[in-house]
Structure 1
């Protein structure tokens, strides 16, 4: 078959009106009768930025926690463990925010809630019982060491998820 007229393997077939007046499904490759696969509404525009920031925070918090756990875990085990947990939550949220399914939406919502509760509880505890936090975590002092982004990020995530809620 001519490679120019070959449909894209990832494309979906599209129903077209035989009379040529309407096409169901948006942009269509007229020769092949297909359209490109749909993109996740959650992972475009501001959603793409959220996924990127969550990915960066997963790497940053994970690398920091990994080094601290290996090199000096006995100095601040609670703080270093909390940083590792934060990194896992960031990683999970980057994944779930990039997916389109209802179950991913629910999981991302749950991760944002857990993250927000974690930031608030750890942030408050780092002021109330500072002796438990001899070294900073991602969430200590409400994320002040990271420009308060850990406090703002789950709120932005929840707002974005509310806007892109599956129907």
Structure 2
């Protein structure tokens, strides 16, 4: 019956900061995906790497949103993997976009560590991972 004992902690994801986190991931899933869709359909040949990375970021944000919304062991795992990929993505793409600006002629969500989005893409995975860790089911 470990699932029953974790219910109050799962409920915490739907309240307070958990709700704000879910909203933030939902907004980023929508904005990154919409941006990528427009970029890919209108001028893909100008910066294909950047636009595909934006699409990938949108999928990562979408999976994190779904994981947080679903909750439970499976949802937590999905959110944990998504937030980890997001953190690695924003760090790697952020560093590469500064080191080799020619390879990134147009911005992605994660370019320059998310500077175009107020650095929220850099901070969000840290908050997400902290929240998931803090509200993990007790054994």
Same fold (TM over 0.5): yes
- Tell me the residue number matched to 1:6: none
SS at structure 1 position matched to 2:70: coil
Contact 1:43–1:99 at 8 Å: present in 2 too? no
- Paired residues in the alignment total 131
Q: 1:107 offset after TM fit, Å?
A: 1.5
Structure 1 164/100 Cα, relative in aligned 2: closer, same or farther at 3 Å? same
Q: 1:75 offset after TM fit, Å?
A: 0.2
- Tell me the residue number matched to 2:118: 147
> In structure 2, how many angstroms separate the alpha carbons of the residues matched to 1:43 and 1:85?
26
Is 1:107 the equivalent of 2:75? no
Poorly superposed stretches of 4+, deviation over 4 Å: none
Q: 1:163 offset after TM fit, Å?
A: 1.0
Q: 1:40 offset after TM fit, Å?
A: 2.7
Where do residues 95-134 of structure 1 align in structure 2 (5 Å cutoff)? 95-134=66-105
Give deviations 1:43-72, integer Å, cap 9, x for gaps.
Answer: 221110001011111111111110000000
> In structure 1, how many angstroms separate the alpha carbons of the residues matched to 2:15 and 2:65?
13
User: TM-score, length-normalised on structure 1?
Assistant: 0.75
Q: Which has the higher contact order (CA 8 A, sep 6+)?
A: 2
- Tell me the residue number matched to 1:84: 55
Give deviations 1:93-151, integer Å, cap 9, x for gaps.
Answer: 11111222112111111111110000000000001111110000000000000000000
Query: Alpha carbon RMSD of aligned pairs, Å?
Result: 1.4
User: TM-score, length-normalised on structure 2?
Assistant: 0.90
Deviates more, 1:94-103 or 1:53-62: 94-103
